[in-house]
Structure 1
Amino acid sequence: MNKKNLFRLNLKKTEASNTFFKQGCVFLCLFLLSFAPHALATSKKEMPGKLEVQQTRRTITGVVTDTHGDPLPGVTVQVVGRQGGVITDADGRYLIEAAPNEELRLQFVGMKPQTISVGNLTTLNVVMVEDVELLDEVTITAFATQKKESIVSSIETISPKQLRVPSSNLTTALAGRLAGVISYQRSGEPGNDNAQFFVRGVTTFGYASSPLILLDGFEVSSADLARVDPDNIEQFAVLKDATAAALYGSKGANGVIMVTTKKGIAGKPKISFRADARMSAPTKLLETVDGVTYMNLYNEAQFNDNPLLEPYYSAQKIQNTIDNLNEYAYPNLNWYDIMFKPNTMNQHYNLNITGGGTVVKYYLAVSYDKDTGILKDNKLNNFKNNIAIDRFNILANVTMDLTPTTKMDINMNSIFENFTGPLDNTNEIFASVVATNPVEFPKFYLPDEKTAYVKHTLFGSDATGGMTNPFARMVRGYKDGSMGRITSQFSIDQDMDPVLEGLMARAKISIKNDNRYENYRAYDPYLYNIKSYDEFTDTYVLQQVHKGTDALGNPSITREGEFRVYMEGGLTYANSFNDTHDLSGLLIYTQEESKNTGIYRPEDQTIQRTLPQRNQGLRARLNYGFMQKYLAEVSLTYTGSEKFDRSHRWGLFPALGVGYILSNEPFWSPLENILPNFKLKYSWGRVGNDQIAGAADRFFFLSDISGAGGYRWGKDFNSYYGGFNINRYANPMITWEIAQKQNVGFEVDIFKNRALKVILEYFTENRKQIYQARANLPATMGLTSNVYGNVGAVKSAGWDGSIDLNHSFNKDAWITGRFNFTFAQNEYVENEEPEYRWPYLSDIGWPINTWKGYVAERLFIDQADVNNSPRQELGSIPQAGDIKYKDINGDGRVNSDDQVHIGYPTVPEINYGFGLSGGYKNFDLSCFFQGQDRVSFFIDPNARRSNPDRFGIAPFAGHRGALKIIADDHWNPNNPVSHAFWPRLSATVNENNSQQNSTWWLRNGRFLRLKTLEVGYTFPNKWFQPMPFSMVRVYFTGQNLFNLSDFKLWDPEMGGNGLAYPLQRVYNVGLNVTF
């Protein structure tokens, strides 16, 4: 880009940034100041009345109990219309001053609030009734809350208790628990074990397909969500359809996950403490062959390649290895046992306190997690190479009633983390264990005469020093670092009833400061090999095959950071008229700015990475209910993103929904004892997605130009003229993806006590304007880079639903249950691709995330079978025992034209879960099963990592190690099984067998897993008297205890990533105390 234009762009961006921020601050200041006259006027109106009331007040006393006659401590007692109040003591008693013409308002969590006239009474004893549906009545929606009965959107909620699993990562609890959420976990590595999740499946093949995540209304990443402690969650909801997500405009197309943290509850301080001790171990371990088996198999592979060669491993070497003659000269290693522990111990603690009075209420919490990996620490170095993470979460929510009509909330949410680990990626370390054979060299040698005085470790290697020693790789260095993330929120809610009953004004500002520091240090290991070995003296002579370094090198330091400011202000309204009309709505303005504060690499010092990212929006919604039977909702969102040209920067996103509660009709009365609630609902809307490319690829309306090679000219070509390269062509037409969503469904409660609740919904989505490279541009245009456009399109559809059971047999016995499922399919509608000769090669009509490959029929039986089959032109001349592929187009040849779409997508189309919980007196038991179906993955037969998500398992090429299943089930001339697991063994890369995607290596990824099992016991309170404990519970929890699957090689949930850090089985013992 021209430097002058770049300067102008930066200047304009800086000025725009200042204007953007100033406008937001002015807006919020004016908005907040508008409260002052109203509050002052309210105070002035109340002053004469207060003076008059004070003359007639008298003391009112009483006791507040529940329906069993037990006193209720911590009940808030207030005089209606006056600020302040009192709280009942430990015996449920209260004392307050009130006038005869005033009313008392009593509130307590879990109880129905009551308003009582004082009259001439001086003693008012109150019995409060439990509100069993209180928490279920209100659901968080976009920018507000609504009664569940009036919602026509598709919103899935879950009790935070169900998310409490023995893991420090919240995302690992999502799979199978929420209808409409597809989730899976590929790795069990602490700190990198986030599950991937999608709302109603993958609906785009663009850059971002994950949902928008909001924590207390503030956008966060999936890594932030992973670190939320379930003990601090008040509500967890998933917004699935257009009416639920449309208010998020250009960010809501992939669905929205909303999490709100707990707020303070008025009453005496209530303290809760939880402690968990966890033991983690892999759910499944890969089995490799022992040294003797390996050598015999390698010789067989070499014989298959060339029968004339002498065996690579002599009979003497094999016998000496069997005899364990010398563990260094004739090693026979189990690399897994050398490098990894069978299990590891982790810890979790949470301490929270809530309480307050009628003016100030608070919720304070601190959590601590200690997570460690299963890598073995060693004594060779003065540093640790195992994974170790120490994490503190600190949450403070304070609510203050500044006046009877003004409420202020302050939220502080902080995460501080220290971590250490090996220098190399742990997935690569695990894969190297399989890749390294057990007989080539030991992990290190004991010194011989020449090396007796060296100070470095004598790591083993082959004679060339070219083979990787996985142990040396693991211990050659370390990384450590820290992370700090502080999110602060400040909001004010102003009751505007004197202006208009039901009107509420609010303003909020949120600030996030995120910083991460990492330090990498390494040394280069010395590598040795045995030059000679004397069997008579049992001594060896070493030779150095690679010279390393004696000390750790200088640190390599990286820093990352982000600073984000979010501002929100607007009006909400809710009111009812004549018990017939229910009207509510909102009008919200938002703006957000984020800036990367951790730029350190030269390649990141671009305008795309350094300039702030901003968006603004105006959102409106109107809800109407008639006679509590007919429901309607309309919303309109107008949002803008600075990523796009002015002509395509702003977008309008409408949505509408209708509902019909049949059970409130008079004709339904004969069914009300069986089906007390039945609601139909439908929604339609358009939502956007501006996350069409990474942070380094913004401002699509600008070209990206850099210096490049030039040319020489003039006499003797001694004049050089530099050139330029266009990395991206400007396109002012680029804009966001558009998702048009529809949803239809019903909700029904069964039995008079509503013991069963059933929800079933059908949904469709048409996604268009997907950003991708154009594929059909002629080479004669002379373009130096791809041209991109909003040209892709996908359609998807599916079903999701849930069944909830909730029943109490008596005061001692209860049972709850839940079943939910999600079935989501998609297919390409428009996709830039070459003009294929054969139509079946096109992706149109096929699902996203499916693979093309060859159809494997069987293994060739003999050479005659090879000669009589279509010619396979895949790089290697096939032999008996190689894979025989199908000639799809019938031209007598097998080549790239014979690849077809095979298997299911790599993202499951079906997720489901079911579980039961029950209790009798003080004992409780719960279990939960999770499963997935219609999903495929590949076992990668390559001799290397050929895909970011897959590690190759091919043995022997380059003396790689071998899995036990290959030894147990492979083709050989003496056992020519046409459907053996592994084809003919080869000591080289067999392109016919190992470098082709085919149905031979395709596996069904379906499974059913016992995700969690918990047994608990709550001690009777009388056991701990006179100690102030209100609840003491101990429990045992197991996670990932077993799974049922046709695939036995590794945990099927890992997909093709089976050679990576394994998923973990967890055994947890916990204690929960409340006082």
Structure 2
Amino acid sequence: MDYMKKRTKGDLGRSFKLQKLLHAALLFFFLALALPGWASVENAAVQQSRRDITGVVTDIAGEPLPGVTVQVVGRQGGVITDADGNYSIQAATGEEVRFQYVGMRALTSKVGTGSIMNVVMQEDVELLDEVTITAFATQKKESVVSSIETINPKELRVPSSNLTTALAGRLAGVISYQRSGEPGNDNAQFFVRGVTTFGYASSPLILLDGFEVSSTDLARVDPDNIEQFAVLKDATAAALYGSKGANGVIMVTTKKGLAGKPKISVRADGRLSMPTKVLETVDGVTYMKLYNDAQFNDNPLLSPYYSAQKIQNTQDGLNEYAYPNLDWYDIMFKPSTFNQHYNMNISGGGTVVKYYLSVSYDKDTGILKDNKLNNFKNNIDIDRFNILANIGIDLTETTKMDINMNSIFENFTGPLDNTNDIFASVVATNPVEFPKFYRPDEKNAYMKHTLFGSDATGTMVNPYARMVRGYKDGSMGRITSQFSLDQDLGNMLEGLMARAKVSIKNDNRYENFRSYDPYLYNIKSYDEFTDTYVLQQVHKGTDALGNPSIERSGEFRLYMEGGLTYANTLNDIHDVSGLVIYTQEELKNTGIWRDEDKTIQRTLPQRNQGIRARLNYGLMQKYLAEVSLTYTGSEKFDRSHRWGLFPALGLGYIVSNEPFWQPLENVLPGFKLKYSWGKVGNDQIAGAADRFFFLSDIGSGGGYRWGRDFNSNYGGFNISRYANPMITWEIAVKQNVGFELDVFKNRAVKVIMEYFSENRRQIYQARANLPATMGLTSNVYGNVGEVKSGGFDGSIDINHSFSGDTWMTGRFNFTYAHNEYVQNEEPEYRWKYLSDIGWPINTWKGFIAERLFIDDADVKNSPLQELGSVPQAGDIKYKDINGDGRVNDDDQVHIGYPTVPEINYGFGLSAGHKNFDISTFFQGQARVSFFIDPNGQRGSDRFGIAPFVGHRGALKIIAEDHWNPNNPVSQAFWPRLSASLNQNNSRQNSTWWLRNGRFLRMKTLEVGYTFPKSWFQPAGMVRIYFTGQNLFALSDFKLWDPEMTGNGLAYPLQRVYNVGLNVTF
């Protein structure tokens, strides 16, 4: 077994190194080829008949155009115009010379008898803006009947190293939010048109240059490298992805090289990062007084836990070690941190080879403080390199090859413990029990270890000692290589193309964990006269770091694609296009090292196959139709249910191209109606450890139990999962109807509105109503769940130029997505309102909190609360829903909105005058609820905010607004203070702890200045800019950042102030 482990490790290492060497070799090889003017060897006789043809290429304003590709038709090679638009090329009389330039209409001119040929190129306003990416192809926007949302990649450039944090509010149809600001773990969650399933996977398929990647891979993409960013929202857009497209698709394509002189762009950003909001806890004196009040509420006969002398000495600051008064947040965390981002890219090429090369570097650090006495760092520190190389080669006039190499290398260090727990421990620890560490007393003067503080028993957690007791470090490498070949078959059939692609991705991750056991001390005695103390050791630790604990993970993904595409216009009125594509994919887990993970489910590769076809037809540029069929298979399912057919249909009508619309064309030049219907699948119904549903899992450790009270058992083999050959993927039936409207003659305003609906069937879940008499040893699963969802989304885009070098752009988008259970496995409830049917996914059940009990008489005269204990004055009073005079679990109802917002929106404006520009963007969400967790029962807030229990700390809001006998406010923020858990009353899910999560945030504000070109020659453009992110939020909730919802005790979201410089050559 050890030999196999070593061999696997060696093989993986060699594979990873070989792929890196291959990247380097290919990169240098193709750079060598990417020289303008690379020409082929030609027949000498033909060359003798040619002469030098020279000229100047300009635009219609007479400005010279540098970097224009000039090529003789029918010949390989060519030249590029210089900075003044000049060119010189050899050609013979009668040959045609073709001129190509990005953003301009291609021009072909025939060589005459002269030797000078000047040309003027016209701008092609439709060339880039009117083309969008679709599944496996590109398409003119005007002819698209699918629901595809695109965004200018410049809008995704925010002061963050995580691309996903830029999505919220910027894309119609995307619900997005961020719950943590921890570097490296700050991914935003996002859903296309909301959550539409309660199954295993509800996130969209993500494609980077047509290759499936994870949300973390998406997060690491540098916005400077993005050419197009699109979201496929409806069935016709996503149906070609078959069993993977039900949750929508996010498509990102990276930049490609353009023929011309090398263009270099350099960007540098410096970022000051700090929490948007900091939790406020009480000081030591206030804490001790409130603790004594809580103890009195529990038992008035007890003496105060904190004496008047201790309170007074603490208030006087007598001795910071004997009478600590700590702000744990200030002790453990820095107020801010400084991060950096750099990017350099170069693009260019000749008529044969074109290239785009980019290198990015990010330096991200956290706000945790290091212990200077340690010889290691426990703060978060990430160094990340992102390397991209896109090479395009025209092998012949009809054959093109593209090579894409995308690599990420990352080194990181961080704390041993989860950062959410570290931040939550600030509230979990009171400010007066002990200091973070003691100054050595006489006995311990020569101790080399840190004298961390604790209580007299050594059982209370010192949050600082816990944070600095160790570290983790590691590295991550991801290499993606893609090779594609396009063959123009126009000589066989005009518009016909053949394509083939192979993509390989190799991920490897290594982590090392090391720690020591802290020594804990407490004050045994203190002499106020001499102001000295004697320490006692309450826990013996270790003096050095222990042996490392190592974890590895990795995966290898292989993707192959091949097929035909066709696009042509027949008789000037019939626009016909289509494709037939075959795909095959394999995913292997290469990082298995734990014995418990060496199962069939985890070790065997995951495989998918599919064939897909699409036909698009347009008549007279008015009537549009699209039909697609996808036939895909997955190895997860039994042969009888392994393959599925996913059809889709789309229709469109460009009303503005009708003759009757001409009177309106100056005001409304574009108006299109569209409708789509289709079926899409989702085969991600369970995790990697739960595959091959047609097989039973047999365990050897449990045996069987039976009898009236299950008190009889027989050891041996048992079934841990029952086979079900009928299990298959989820099916989503989607519909979409909408319109697109252009306003004003120059199309300065574009409006898109769409209504959508979906029915998600065959959701995989455990059966709930099987009788125990069946003798089953585990749950039985089936495709039994069903959800329906729907809503609408839309956007308004403004783009207008004024006279005097002044321009303005604006964008507003809105998404509303609602869902509800149609079928869900649940018990047969006595009270129908307990059922989830008809209610949204991700909503909570809980009690209706009416108010706080005023006094004991109020308790006596209210319905009996059967929650395990008798409530007291100041406890929460719950409503008796069914009117039986008792409050118990039968009185819980659905409360609040879902935890995933049903409404996301955003709006922003950008404007510029001459060299100055300014832009701002606001983002908001609504119809979302969350709980303030009093006792740490939900999510990562396992510590909760309940004060005093186990001598926990207290938030300032609790001190300022709580019920007390002298002021029995029935709607105070906090019920009566108590040093006991009081779990049977205040812990209950109820509207008392429910909060509305709506907010409006100023997401970004940027001010920039572009210096005149004459200032920094030979640089083409120099721009400096200042950016702020997460500057403020308007919300009814004030305790922490409302976007974190119930995760408020975790690593806070960050406010960022950024200064940047962008230089192009």
Residue pair 1:682, 1:744 contacting (<8 A) in 2 also: yes
CA contact (8 A) 1:951 1:1056 kept: no
User: 1:699 offset after TM fit, Å?
Assistant: 0.6
Q: Deviations over 1:252-276 (max 9, x none)?
A: 0000000000000100100000000
CA distance in 2: counterparts of 1:900 and 1:121, whole angstroms: 88
* Alignment correspondent of 2:949: 957
Q: Contact (CA 8 Å) 1:950, 1:1056: kept in 2 or not? A: no
SS for the counterpart of 2:125 is: coil
Structure 2 distance, partners of 1:770, 1:777, is 18
Aligned to 2:255: 262
> CA shift at 1:55, angstroms?
6.6
| Greater CA drift, 878-887 or 50-59 | 50-59
Structure 1, residues 327-354: CA drift from partner, whole Å, max 9, x if none?
Answer: 1111000000101000000000000000
Determine if contact 1:572/1:586 at 8 Å carries over to the other structure: yes
Q: Deviations over 1:122-155 (max 9, x none)?
A: 3222222233343211101000000001100000
Amino acid at match of 1:1065: R
CA contact (8 A) 1:950 1:1057 kept: no
The alpha-carbon distance between structure 1 residues 577 and 242, as it changes in their structure 2 partners (threshold 3 A), is same
The 5-angstrom pairing of residues 668-1067 of structure 1 reads 668-709=661-702, 723-810=716-803, 812-942=805-935, 944-948=936-940, 951-1024=943-1016, 1027-1067=1017-1057
Describe the shift of the 1:160–1:865 C-alpha distance in structure 2 as closer, same or farther (beyond 3 A). same
Greater Cα offset, 971-980 or 921-930:
971-980
The CA deviation string for residues 960-1015 of structure 1, in whole angstroms up to 9 with x for no partner, is: 00000000000101111111100100001112443111000000000000000000
Q: 1:99 is aligned with what amino acid?
A: A
Once the 2 structures are TM-superposed, how far is the Cα of residue 529 of structure 1 from its aligned partner?
A: 1.1
- In 2, the alpha carbon distance for the partners of 1:1041 and 1:683 equals 40
Question: What letter matches 2:595 in structure 1?
Answer: P
Matched with 2:374 is 381
Contact persistence 1:983–1:993 (CA under 8 A):
no
CA shift for structure 1 position 725: 2.4
**1:18-37 to 2 correspondence within 5 Å?**
none
Give 1:57 shift.
3.6
Residue 589 of structure 2 is aligned to residue 599 of structure 1: no
Q: Aligned with 1:608: secondary structure?
A: helix
Q: Give the Å deviation of 1:594.
A: 1.0
Aligned to 1:577: 570
Q: How does 1:372-411 map to 2 (within 5 A)?
A: 372-411=365-404
1:121–1:624 Cα change, 3 Å: farther
Aligned 1:294-309 pairs, distance under 5 A: 294-309=287-302
TM superposition shift of 1:102: 2.9
Equivalent in the alignment of 1:471: 464
CA pair 838-722 structure 1, distance change in 2 beyond 3 A:
closer
Deviations 1:218-263, CA, capped at 9 Å, x for gaps: 0000000000000000000000000000000000000000000000
Residue 352, structure 1, aligned to residue 345, structure 2: yes
Distance 2:1004 2:943 in 1: 29
Shift of 1:787: 0.5
Quickly say closer, same or farther: Cα 1:811–1:617, change in 2 above 3 A.
farther
Residue 14 of structure 2: aligned partner: none
Q: Deviations over 1:927-946 (max 9, x none)?
A: 0000000000000011x454
CA distance in 1, matches of 2:832, 2:114: 87
Distance in 2 of aligned mates of 1:134 and 1:524:
65
Change (3 A) 1:710 1:247: closer
CA shift at 1:81, angstroms? Answer: 2.7
Specify whether residues 949 and 525 from structure 1 end up closer, same or farther in structure 2 by C-alpha distance, changes over 3 A only: closer
- Equivalent-residue separation in structure 1 for 2:425 and 2:1064 (angstroms): 48
Query: 1:909 is aligned with what amino acid?
Result: E
Distance 1:482-1:310 versus aligned 2 partners, 3 A rule: same
923-932 or 440-449: which moved more? 440-449
Are the equivalent residues in 1 in contact too, given 2:911–2:917 (CA < 8 A)?
A: yes
SS in 2 for 1:297: helix
Cα pair 2:939 2:1047 within 8 Å, conserved: no
CA change 1:298–1:310 in 2 (3 A) is same
| 1:291 matched to 2:281 | no
What secondary structure, in the 3-state scheme, does the structure 2 residue paired with 1:228 have?
coil
Aligned to 1:241: 234
Go from structure 1 to structure 2 and tell me whether the alpha carbon gap of 1:535 and 1:127 turns closer, same or farther (over 3 Å shift): same
Listed one character per residue, the Cα deviations across residues 741-798 of structure 1 (whole Å, up to 9, x for unaligned) are 0000000100000000000000000000000000000011111111000000000000
Partner letter of residue 512 of structure 2?
Answer: N
Residue aligning to 1:1070 = 1060
Amino acid at match of 2:1064: T
Between the aligned partners of 2:861 and 2:1030, the Cα distance in structure 1 is 49
The one-letter code matched in structure 2 to 1:605 is K
Per the TM alignment, residue 861 of structure 1 is displaced from its structure 2 partner at its CA by 1.1
Instruction: Judge conservation of contact 1:824–1:910 (CA < 8 Å) in 2.
Output: yes
Tell whether the 8 Å contact from 2:788 to 2:822 is kept in structure 1 after alignment. yes
- Residue 298 of structure 1 aligns to a residue whose secondary structure is helix
The alpha carbon displacement at 1:590 in A equals 0.4
Structure 1: distance between partners of 2:814 and 2:702: 57
Partner of 1:230: 223
Q: 1:523 aligns with which of 516, 521, 524?
A: 516
Corresponding residue SS for 1:991? coil
Cα separation, 1, equivalents of 2:228 and 2:625: 25
Unaligned runs of 5+ in 1: 1-45, 713-719
Structure 1 CA distance, aligned partners of 2:916 and 2:126?
24
Structure-2 residue corresponding to 1:447: 440
The runs of 5 or more residues in structure 2 that have no matched partner are 1-39, 706-712
Post-superposition shift, 1:440? 0.4
Instruction: Kindly state the Cα deviation for residue 880 of structure 1 after the two structures are TM-superposed.
Output: 1.0
Local SS of the residue matching 2:128? helix
Alpha-carbon distance, 1:913 to partner: 0.3
Q: 1:179 aligns with which of 172, 176, 194?
A: 172
Q: Counterpart of 1:963 in structure 2: which amino acid?
A: L
Shift of 1:857: 0.6
What is the SS of the residue equivalent to 2:363? Answer: strand
- TM-superposed deviation, 1:461: 0.7
Q: Please say if 1:74 is aligned against 2:93.
A: no
2:139 and 2:411 mapped to 1: Cα distance? Answer: 40
CA distance in 1, matches of 2:703, 2:215: 45
The CA deviation string for residues 697-736 of structure 1, in whole angstroms up to 9 with x for no partner, is: 1111111111115699xxxxxxx98501211111111100
Match of 1:36 in 2: none
Equivalent-residue separation in structure 2 for 1:397 and 1:945 (angstroms): 49
Contact 1:706-1:725 at 8 Å conserved across structures: yes
C-alpha distance in structure 2 between counterparts of 1:328 and 1:980, whole Å: 35
Task: Look up the SS of the partner of 2:700 in the other structure.
Answer: strand
- Kept in 2, the 8 Å contact 1:951–1:1057? The answer is no
1:51: Cα distance to partner?
8.9
The equivalent of 1:341 in structure 2 is: 334
The answer to whether the 8 A contact 1:950-1:1058 is kept is no
Q: TM-score, normalized by length of structure 2?
A: 0.94
> How far does the alpha carbon of each residue in 1:60-99 deviate from its partner, in whole angstroms, 9 at most, with x for none?
2211112332211100112223222111011101112233
Is the 2:424–2:941 contact (alpha carbons within 8 Å) kept by the matching residues of 1? no
Within 1, Cα distance between the matches of 2:701 and 2:787? 38
Distance 1:47 1:471 in 2: 72
CA contact (8 A) 1:373 1:388 kept: yes
